[in-house]
Amino acid sequence: MIRVRETTRIGQVTGAGSANRTDERFGIVATDLGILWDGDDGRVFVLFGDTYGEGWGGHGAGPGTADWRRNALAYSTARELGSGLTLDGVVERPGGGAGQVIPSGRGREVTVIPNGGIAVEGRQYVHYMSVRSWGTPGTWRTSYAGIAVSADGGRTWRKPRSARWPNRWRGDSRFQIGAFARSGEHVYLFGTTNGRRDDAYLARVLPSSLLDTGAYEYFDGTGWTRRERSATPVFAGPVGEMSVGYNVHFGCWLMMHLDESRQGIVLRSAPELTGPWTHGEVVVSGKEYPAVYGGFLHPWSLMGPDLYYLVSQWGPYNVFLTRSRLTTTAAHPPA
């Protein structure tokens, strides 16, 4: 079982006063999430959610008139994370500054929120959700979730209709929030319903069919089925944003997610993606950092016992690099 020895907030990654000076360099005064994945090109991609510039309100998201971009993409080549995460640059818009990369804003779509990313065979893929309306804190309604793809290093993105999971009126589609993992010949996708209340589910697909939701198979507790409705939880929620990766040092999978019932970000471990997953423990407490959310693993920190990841806070509405030093009480068999 993986245990946390200590957790330390390393520093602020975005916003005024951050070492990256994103407000001055990229027009990013306030933002959240910071989804991380290895781009297989010497860079780690860092994809932010709703992003604001000059005129930001000073607390939480908005207003929409404050140079609002519904997502923004940065990249980093830094391997030494002990003193912070350095951002080398962003995907720019005409005239400079971070531009919006995944298209958004048509019809009843309020925003497009990224959930997870992965590089496969020279292309970048992002799981995202099309938000239809916001509810009380921790709840919202999506119209659908989908996968966007970029073939030019993240500069431009497509949202194919073949790569969408519609969210019916009951709002019970189980892959509206998602996190990618790669194991063997398959790409795996963890999912949950819109909001932060439900359990975690698991799907898989061959890389060649990543953009065809009809080709996905769903774990039903004993095997794989093509029916999403037959998917059974791989662990119980409540589950919010998720991030997953294989830790070479400990020989097991790690899962980080927001758990509102435990008021913080939880770290779980398992010998296989299908489980069994540990109950885990809170690594970042909302009591210490109010309204904390996110928890996205830095892929280059999965080689050793020091785990680095990004978390957000609603009030300052910015992203922070955090480190947890891990140990184990019983070794997982290598996956």
Distance in angstroms (rounded) separating the CA atoms of residues 259 and 206? 30
Residues 6+ apart with CB under 8 A from 135: 141, 195
Burial of 224 (0-12, 13-18, 19+ CB in 10 A): middle
At 127-165, the pLDDT tens digits run 999 999 999 999 999 999 999 999 999 999 999 999 999
pTM: 0.96
**What are the contacts of 313-316 at 24+ separation with CB within 8 A?**
313/289, 314/32, 314/60, 314/290, 315/59, 315/60, 315/290, 315/291, 316/15, 316/30
pLDDT > 70 in the chain, percent:
98
At 215-261, the pLDDT tens digits run 999 999 999 999 999 999 999 999 999 999 999 999 999 999 999 99
Per domain, the residue ranges of the chain are: 2-13+105-328
Architecture of domain 2-13+105-328: 6 Propeller (2.120)
What is the pLDDT at residue 105? 73
Distance in angstroms (rounded) separating the CA atoms of residues 71 and 103? 9
Q: Which amino acid is at 189?
A: L
Residues 6+ apart with CB under 8 A from 80: none
Cα 29 → chain centroid: 20
Average model confidence (pLDDT) across the chain: 96
At 86-128, the pLDDT tens digits run 999 999 999 999 999 999 877 789 999 999 999 999 999 999 9
Residues 163/169/172/173 CA torsion (nearest 10 deg): -10
Distance in angstroms (rounded) separating the CA atoms of residues 314 and 162? 34
Distance in angstroms (rounded) separating the CA atoms of residues 263 and 293? 9
DSSP string, 116-169: EEEEETTEEEEEEEEEEEE-STT-EEEEEEEEEEESSTTSS-B--GGGEEE--T
Distance in angstroms (rounded) separating the CA atoms of residues 200 and 218? 12
